[in-house]
Amino acid sequence: MSRQLSSEEIDEKRTTLIDHALCILETEGLAALTVRRLAEEAGVSRQTPYLYFKDKAELVDAMRIAGLSKLTAASLEAAAGAPSENYVEQLRLIGEAYVRFGLDNPAVYKLVFTPIRPDEPPSPEHMKAIEANRAVAEIPMQKAAADGMLNLPPDRLNHVFWAALHGLITLRTENLIDNDETFEQIRSDIEFTLANGFINKARD
């Protein structure tokens, strides 16, 4: 008779399966990800993944949440490299980490922002991951707003911040910006424009 797993062991095994699935996604694409292929990669029986995910759709949802959580963790780690009162530097580091994650993990990044079942609302767990990711940039923006530094409300500026970075990542991964020097210049100019605007204040 098999031993019943603890909740911690169940979470650990589920996380391991998700990590293997993300690896297959990144190296071979979503079409290559089947429950059988996942079982082979993880070294378990073909039925084991079904103990943790009822079907592939549930597995993919879990992968999306995990990918978003990894992006959030990378952004938070980057932000910690700036002084707590230097909001501009925090946002610059968050932006760098965000772009780096998107370029280093293009398939995972695309999955995070491409719902498989757009007609269904996000699960509570997915919403929690979305809110956590949104807060990474919005919290320093809120602090900057409280100090009178912003011309836009933090939630609106956060949308602009995300749109600019998401657009940059997409243009790069679609090879619409294929020159490294051009890409780095555009990235730097986005940082400057987001922090300072594009109007020459001396001409006001």
Name the residue ranges covered by the structural domains of the chain.
1-53, 57-203
Residue 134: closest CA among 155, 116, 108: 155
Higher-confidence residue: 201 or 70?
70
* CA separation, residue 136 to residues 73, 120, 130, 191 (Å): 9, 26, 10, 17
Q: Is 82 exposed, middle or buried (0-12, 13-18, 19+ CB in 10 A)?
A: middle
Eight-state DSSP code of residue 27: H
Look at residue 4 and tell me whether its pLDDT is greater than 80.
no
Supply the pLDDT for residue 194. 87
Positive or negative CA dihedral for 95, 183, 149, 89? positive
- The answer for residues whose C-beta is within 8 angstroms of residue 160's C-beta and 6 or more apart is 152, 194
CATH number for domain 1-53, candidates 2.30.110.10, 1.20.120.530, 2.102.10.10, 1.10.10.60: 1.10.10.60
DSSP per-residue codes, 164-192:
HHHHHHHHHHTTSS--HHHHHHHHHHHHH
Supply the pLDDT for residue 1. 46
DSSP per-residue codes, 105-121:
SHHHHHHHTS-S-TTSP
Q: How does pLDDT run across 77-107, given as a tens digit for each residue?
A: 999 999 989 999 999 999 999 999 999 999 9
* Superfamily of chain region 57-203: Tetracycline Repressor, domain 2 (1.10.357.10)
Look at residue 109 and tell me whether its pLDDT is greater than 80.
yes
